[in-house]
Amino acid sequence: MVKMSELKQHLPQECLPEYLGGSLKLDPFGWNCRFLPQQNGHPDPLDELILVSLATPRDNGSVHVPGPKAMTVVELLEHVSQKQKRGIYEEYEGIRRRSPSGTFVCSLAPYNQEKNRYGDVPCLDQTRVKLTKQFSYPELTDYINASFMDGYKQRNAYIGTQGTFCALDICLSQLQDVGTLNVYQTVVQMRTQRAFSIQTPEQYYFCYMAILEHAQRENLLPSSPARDGKENC
């Protein structure tokens, strides 16, 4: 694993964005125009926006900071082995039952309904991305089903339409920074900005498994303890 502060030692300056010490200017709208399906020269507003880190990593008001219940990867492995898949699913159910922390007035407005790719994933008014004329068709409102989301110690680090990648990025960034992480707390906080992030228990369980797989590959886990409980129901 290469730390962000060491990227300049491994990559040419022109390949790194300015906030990481390179000379590459970020142009997410241009990238969306280039890589997403288009109509009349514009990206389809229903397509996912490219995720871009928008801030330098620092503690500047992000909801994602190390908490008192964070775990080491060894503790995480023990947690999963003890709860097994059924217990992790029940853990997710506790998150799912929480009421959303905001409102959905704009997302549920009749004239915006067709812009919601999934009817059961409305966009919070408090964190929604607002389109400008430059980025939308003239006949459209400023609505798109996308939200500003904090990253690890980064305010508004992502423009996100799905949450699984963000959860992994936040957890692994904290692991790299302080050696601990908390999947449960990360998902709870994500859902305060992107309601219903991590929509299924399968996605939630996948986050645990992906982190443990990463830890195994990086030799962060002892080789002797068995991980045979991770796939059990």
Q: Catalogue all structural domains in the chain, each as residue range(s) with its CATH number.
A: 4-217 (3.90.190.10)
What is the reported pLDDT for 54?
A: 45
- pLDDT for 200 beyond 60: yes
Q: Indicate the range of 6-15, 59-68, 208-217 predicted with least confidence.
A: 6-15
* pTM across the whole model: 0.72
- pLDDT for 180 beyond 80: yes
Q: Indicate the range of 40-49, 119-128, 164-173, 194-203 predicted with least confidence.
A: 40-49
Q: Which residue has the tokens 């500047």?
A: 60
What is the reported pLDDT for 56?
A: 47
Strand partners, 43: 38
> What 3-state DSSP class applies to 99?
coil
Alpha carbon distance 45, 114 (integer Å): 11
Average pLDDT, rounded, for the chain: 79
SS3 sequence of 57-77: CCCCCCCECCCCCCECHHHHH
What is the reported pLDDT for 160?
A: 78
Whose CA is closest to 63, among 182, 152, 172? 152
- pLDDT for 3 beyond 90: no
